[in-house]
């Protein structure tokens, strides 16, 4: 699964049909309630899948913002972090891919929660099928401005002065930037096969590595399952803001599912 954006101010109130809550500066009580509800719902999903999961892949932007200082970590997310630790203690492999919202993640989740952290795309063979796994940001996008910003945010040198600024200012800046990212394209509807950067990237990568069977991505906040060839598919996993979706591979078949889907 991907794109839970824990801590974001735009999760649905009650995770139901009432619509989106207002940002925190307008209605902080509803905002905090919605954030806890999405975290509880995600933990219920973990409780469901841990009964038979061999490996769990979290494909990025699980947090809306995450920054680890040398001796402290962001406030909140205790339910989620506790559930991660519970699953890894049970022997379940949990892989965490950094996204463009949780870039500056270092060793906290690996040392405290036992997860395997990935900073780059990862290719893995699962029951004879080759999976290309990544969050998806930066793949297939040749925009110079995007490449510059991505390089800036991935810079270890830039991390040092950022860490010196009081969190009161950096967190406000981060959430403002997150809203900008959503408004500028992350949550656009499906734009068509010829305009989606991740599809373009997957097609080029498939020419280079024709033995790949699955490309799994997050980032775009859409649910997509598209055949690229007779033996290769691209799947974009949706999100946990609008869809509460996830993928399952049972050794033979892959499917996109929706957790606790409401009846019409």
Q: What angle do CA 53, 224, 142 make, to 5 degrees?
A: 110
Among 154, 137, 109, smallest CA distance to 217 is for 137
At 13 the pLDDT is: 45
Residue 3 lies inside a defined structural domain of this protein: no
Tracing tokens 């975290």 back to the chain, one arrives at 39
Residue 74 lies inside a defined structural domain of this protein: yes
Name the H helices within the chain.
28-49, 78-89, 108-113, 144-153, 156-164, 167-181, 197-208
Q: How many CB atoms lie within 10 A of CB 165?
A: 11
Say how many domains are in the chain: 1
For residues 214 and 232, the answer to whether their CB atoms sit within 8 Å is yes
According to the per-residue pLDDT averaged within each range, which of 24-38, 61-75, 225-239 is highest?
Answer: 225-239
Q: Is the pLDDT of residue 134 over 80?
A: yes
CATH code, domain with 43? 3.60.21
Residue 71 lies inside a defined structural domain of this protein: yes
Q: What angle do CA 45, 47, 50 make, to 5 degrees?
A: 105
Task: Read off the pTM.
Answer: 0.84
Of 16-20, 187-191, 227-231, 245-249, the range with the lowest mean pLDDT is: 16-20
Of 103-112, 150-159, 190-199, the range with the lowest mean pLDDT is: 150-159
Question: What range does the domain containing 115 cover?
Answer: 13-258
For residues 229 and 196, the answer to whether their CB atoms sit within 8 Å is no
Residue 1 lies inside a defined structural domain of this protein: no
Strand partners, 20: 12
Average pLDDT of span 4-27:
56
Query: Which has more pLDDT, 36 or 248?
Result: 248
Residue 164 lies inside a defined structural domain of this protein: yes
Computed over every residue of the chain, the mean pLDDT equals 84
Of 15-24, 25-34, 226-235, the range with the lowest mean pLDDT is: 15-24
Residue 264 lies inside a defined structural domain of this protein: no
CA–CA distance from 3 to each of 38, 60, 226, 246 (Å)? 12, 6, 20, 10
Residue 2 lies inside a defined structural domain of this protein: no
Residue 162 lies inside a defined structural domain of this protein: yes
Query: Which has more pLDDT, 180 or 129?
Result: 129
């Amino acid at each position: 699964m991907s794109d839970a954006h824990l801590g974001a101010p735009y999760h649905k109130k009650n995770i139901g049909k009432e619509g989106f809550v207002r940002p925190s500066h307008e209605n902080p009580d509803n905002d905090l309630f919605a954030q806890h509800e999405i975290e509880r719902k995600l933990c219920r999903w973990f409780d469901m899948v841990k009964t038979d999961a061999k490996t769990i892949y979290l494909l990025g932007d699980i947090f809306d913002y995450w920054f680890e200082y040398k001796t402290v970590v962001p406030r909140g997310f205790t339910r989620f972090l506790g559930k991660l630790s519970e699953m890894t203690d049970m022997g379940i492999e949990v892989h965490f891919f950094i996204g463009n919202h949780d870039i500056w993640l270092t060793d906290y989740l690996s040392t405290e929660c036992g997860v395997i952290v990935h900073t780059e795309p990862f290719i893995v063979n699962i029951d004879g099928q080759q999976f290309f796994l990544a969050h998806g940001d930066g793949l297939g996008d040749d925009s110079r401005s995007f490449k510059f910003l991505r390089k800036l945010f991935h810079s270890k040198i830039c991390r040092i002065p950022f860490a010196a600024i009081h969190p009161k200012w950096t967190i406000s800046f981060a959430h403002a930037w997150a809203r900008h990212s959503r408004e500028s394209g992350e949550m656009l509807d499906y734009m068509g096969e010829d305009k989606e950067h991740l599809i373009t990237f997957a097609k080029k990568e498939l020419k280079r590595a024709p033995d790949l069977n699955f490309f799994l991505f997050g980032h775009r906040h859409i649910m997509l399952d598209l055949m690229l060839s007779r033996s290769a598919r691209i799947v974009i996993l949706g999100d946990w803001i609008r869809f509460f979706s996830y993928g399952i591979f049972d050794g033979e078949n892959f499917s996109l599912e929706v957790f606790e889907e409401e009846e019409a």
